[in-house]
């Protein structure tokens, strides 16, 4: 089940921060914490999970930090949601065998349909789209609005 948790919200904000503010140099987690107000205890494990699933690249060293693993237009919100869902330990109530015929034959299938529709919408929204929204909203960011460089 798709739930908006603190971890998921922080993950989206952190990746968007890297996409929006990351120029030619990596973005440090301390910069993300400062800009987004995300506590480090939440941020570090989330960033490591995003690195493991190739959404971010972790760069070590004194000038290290995080960069996108691929172009902004090739990372969707669906990618981030799927990555963070793997961290969730709560059981999905849809899989619970208890319940009535109405629940099993009407409500749960409807809920599954809605989740499929939501994931399709999340898959259609890329970091490029969100960076464009941030730029149009006048949110302070880099001097130039560029995408990934090879």
CA–centroid distance for 112 within its chain: 21
Average pLDDT value for residue range 124-132: 96
Per-residue pLDDT reduced to its tens digit, 25-60: 899 999 999 999 999 888 999 999 999 999 999 999
Beta partners for 76? 126
The rounded distance, in Å, linking the Cα atoms of 55 and 53 is 6
Average pLDDT, the chain: 88
What pLDDT sits at residue 72?
95
The answer on pLDDT for 147 being more than 60 is no
- Domains in the chain, CATH or no CATH each: 6-136 (1.10.10.10)
Cα distance between residue 86 and residue 49, in whole Å: 9
Q: Does residue 142 carry a pLDDT above 80?
A: no
User: For position 146, what pLDDT does the model report?
Assistant: 52
Helix 40-52 / helix 29-36 crossing angle, nearest 10 deg:
130
């Amino acid at each position: 089940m798709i739930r908006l948790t603190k971890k998921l919200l922080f993950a989206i904000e952190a990746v968007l921060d890297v996409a929006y503010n990351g120029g030619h140099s990596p973005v440090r987690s301390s910069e993300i914490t400062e800009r987004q107000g995300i506590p480090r205890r939440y941020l570090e494990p989330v960033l490591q999970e995003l690195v493991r699933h190739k959404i971010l690249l972790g760069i070590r060293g004194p000038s290290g930090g995080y960069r996108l693993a691929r172009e902004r237009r090739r990372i969707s919100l669906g990618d981030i949601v799927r990555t963070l869902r793997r961290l969730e330990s709560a059981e999905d109530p849809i899989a619970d065998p208890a319940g009535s015929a109405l629940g099993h034959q009407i409500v749960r299938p409807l809920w599954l349909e809605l989740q499929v529709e939501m994931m399709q919408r999340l898959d259609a929204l890329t970091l490029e789209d969100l960076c464009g929204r941030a730029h149009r909203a006048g949110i302070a960011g880099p001097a130039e609005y560029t995408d990934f460089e090879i």
